[in-house]
A = this chain, B = another copy of it.
Amino acid sequence: MTSATLSARLPDTGLATAPLAARYAGAEPRHALTNPVIDLILSRRSIRHYTAAPLPDGALEAIVAAAQSAASSSNLQAFSIVAVTDPARKARLNALAGDQSHIARAPVLLVWIADLGRLRAIATDNGQPGDGLDYLESVLIGVIDAALAAQSAAIAIESLGLGSCFIGALRNDPVAVAAELGLPAESFAVFGLTVGIPDPAVTTAVKPRLPQQAIVHREVYSSHQADAELSTYNERLRLFQAGQGMRSIDWTRQVADRVGTAAALKGRHRVGTALRRLGLKLA
């Protein structure tokens, strides 16, 4: 099947409307193509409130198939998924991830593993030392493969009427998470993804992003162009915060506080040390 054939099944292509406006809080580009898939992608929100129901039959299989359909560097398929449903294990992982209660409440927590341990085992079985795994590049391959796969999964999840939320806090203590999940050496959890049926009693707004001019550069990078957009975004995000009953704070101040100190990383400044303890060399 060619892409042209696929496109033919998406007849509503036209100019974007409501989802685009919500994503940019009124600072959207004047002319952007759309179709139902793009509307779905633009409408994505992180869902932190779920009903108690398990996933429908066949949902996990579809989500995994979507994940595996993402591109993979040299087809190494350098990731694995641990699907956690046991309440006690979810509670322990929740405690390791800064006690975000939706981890315990979601019916499934998918943990995305950069699985260099599998690659090492395959190399060893084929008489290779696997020295290429000792470099930062191989960690990046595992992380990128896992992230591309997880985002395909997240979009499939939305398309099924389910919701999800990424859990970067699973990197707060990679050694403990690896022990909890029984991971082999050189494999580590990149992030989690809670999945479930969104609680219909809780509405979640689309979070506005930086205007496109702030992040898209033509031919070469232009700091000057991007900087001019930040104060406008601060104002738009303050309006969004007010509408959501959230504390009003400039985005640039949030960023500065979040990356300002090692302490603000909430333990994750030790990720390099932790990965080395898990057997990765990071050369």
Contact = CB atoms under 8 A, between A and B. Distances in A.
Contact of A163 (B3, B191, B275): B3
13 contacts: A3-B47, A3-B198, A28-B65, A32-B58, A33-B59, A34-B62, A69-B209, A70-B151, A131-B262, A132-B260, A137-B171, A137-B272, A184-B221
Interface residues of A, number: 157
> In the complex, which of the residues A3, A144, A200 has the most CB atoms of chain B within 10 Å of its own CB atom?
A3
A226 interface: yes
Contacts of A151: 70, 147-148, 151-152
Interface string A239-278: 0000000000001111111111110110011011001000
Nearest to A211: B68
Contact of A221 (B37, B187, B210): B187
Given A143-B144, A159-B37, A220-B82, A283 B269 contact: yes
A35 B128 contact: no
Contacts of A218: 82-83, 85
Given A38-B159, A61-B31, A257 B216 contact: no
Given A23-B69, A42-B65, A221-B113, A255 B184 contact: no
Contacts of A23: 65, 68-69
Contacts of A77: 209-210, 215
Contacts of A135: 262, 265, 268-269, 271-272
